[in-house]
Amino acid sequence: MDPDIKSFKTPEEVAARDDIYPQPDPPASTPAGPESPKSGWRQKLKLHWPPGRKEYIVAGLFLILVTAGVCGWLLTHQPKPALPTVVKAKYVPKTVPSTLTGLPVAPDINKRPVTGVMIENSQDARPQSGLSQAGVVFEAIAEGGITRFLALFQDQNPADIGPIRSARPYYVQWALGFDAGYAHVGGSPAGLALIKATGARDLDQFANSGSYHRISSRAAPHNVYTSIDALMQLETGKGYGTSTYTGFPRTKSVPAKVPAAKTVNFAISGPLYNVHYDYNAPTNSYNRSEGGAPQVDANGNKQISPQVVVGMVMPYSMNGKYSVYGVIGSGPAYVFQDGGVTIGTWTKADDKSQIKFTDGAGKPLKFIPGQTWLTALGSAANITYAP
């Protein structure tokens, strides 16, 4: 064989022989540097389908992150809750003017019934108990020139009131104007008939003896006494609730710099029952004397001293031994307060109407706060006063 033919090699054989044409070494791989963060997490998050363990872990983490983000947004972007509606409690003043006296009292006081008590004024009845604690007192002759009082209570609760005597029609008429309970021991025929006819709040001792008691230091009939608490229990038992009435209009006290009436005299029936008042500037009240001596209340042994004194001129006559007063109608009224005097008119339309007072112009005549003492007199000549 031709030697040239034996030595012939195809190009592939020639290329495969390292000894003739050495093959270059493959390029050395460049040492891998640290992967960039971007390429690293992308490589790690390379997911496959169907999902395996890695895919479930990634999905769970994603769900947790989304849920946390939504919750965070809701917590920071919730609308502010509406402020609760504040219901203001109704304001209840600590004190209000008393309907009976105009003095400051707790609001519940005006819800009490007004309680009227007939108090005797014979010499054997003096000194009486409770007169200084009444809000309003009416004074008139009961019989034989002897005066008697209708004392009206609402602000105070004296434990002793008396001595208590019988009813008369004009006292009943005054009590009706205040829708008051009427405490008495029997009465004249006309007085008892009027109580029944008008439906007055009757508290007669004859029918309710348990609400009264007799004291041992005085002889009958001058020894019947009671208390406001006992009478209020009696009124409650009879269903007599809050009294519905119009109190006297009241005004602010403005004492006179120069008193026009420092002394006041009411000639009622005689020396034992005529009344004298001395204006007491420091207390702006009128110290009361009767029968030539200061009239004191056995409760506290202090001189009676009302803030307002009123002389009411009205028709007066006698029916046998009983007095008769023209309480229904109108007449002159002399009002003493703040050291001065105002001459006006009293008016009472009917049995149940409240007695009213007007000045010379026909406007309501207002009283200053405090006890008001009203005396019925047969003539204006029985009223005198001096500066």
Which residue would you say has higher pLDDT here, 21 or 132? Answer: 132
- From 297, 243, 308, select the one nearest 102 (Cα to Cα): 308
Strand partners, 302: 297
Token reading at 37: 């963060």
At residue 85 the predicted structure's pLDDT band, cuts being 50, 70 and 90, is: confident
Q: What is the pLDDT of residue 205?
A: 98
pLDDT per residue as tens digits for the range 95-122: 999 999 999 999 999 999 999 999 999 9
Q: Decide if pLDDT at 39 tops 80.
A: no
Q: What is the pLDDT of residue 12?
A: 52
At residue 91 the predicted structure's pLDDT band, cuts being 50, 70 and 90, is: confident
| φ and ψ of 57, to 5 deg | -65, -45
- Mention the CATH class of domain 96-237: alpha beta
Task: Indicate the domain borders of the chain.
Answer: 96-237, 263-386
pLDDT per residue as tens digits for the range 189-206: 999 999 999 999 999 999
**For residues 302 and 131, is the Cβ–Cβ distance under 8 A?**
no
Q: Decide if pLDDT at 176 tops 90.
A: yes
Q: Decide if pLDDT at 245 tops 80.
A: yes
- From 190, 189, 218, 223, select the one nearest 205 (Cα to Cα): 223
Q: Decide if pLDDT at 243 tops 70.
A: yes
Q: What is the pLDDT of residue 18?
A: 47
pLDDT per residue as tens digits for the range 55-65: 666 666 667 77
**For residues 368 and 251, is the Cβ–Cβ distance under 8 A?**
yes
Q: How far apart are CA 256 and CA 238, in angstroms?
A: 46
At residue 45 the predicted structure's pLDDT band, cuts being 50, 70 and 90, is: low
What architecture is domain 263-386? 3-Layer(bba) Sandwich (3.50)
- Alpha carbon separation from 363 to 99, 135, 184 (Å, rounded): 20, 24, 35
Mean pLDDT of 118-147: 97
- Alpha carbon separation from 100 to 11, 107, 149, 153, 277 (Å, rounded): 142, 13, 17, 8, 22
At residue 90 the predicted structure's pLDDT band, cuts being 50, 70 and 90, is: confident
Fold: same for 96-237 and 263-386: yes
Q: What is the pLDDT of residue 5?
A: 44
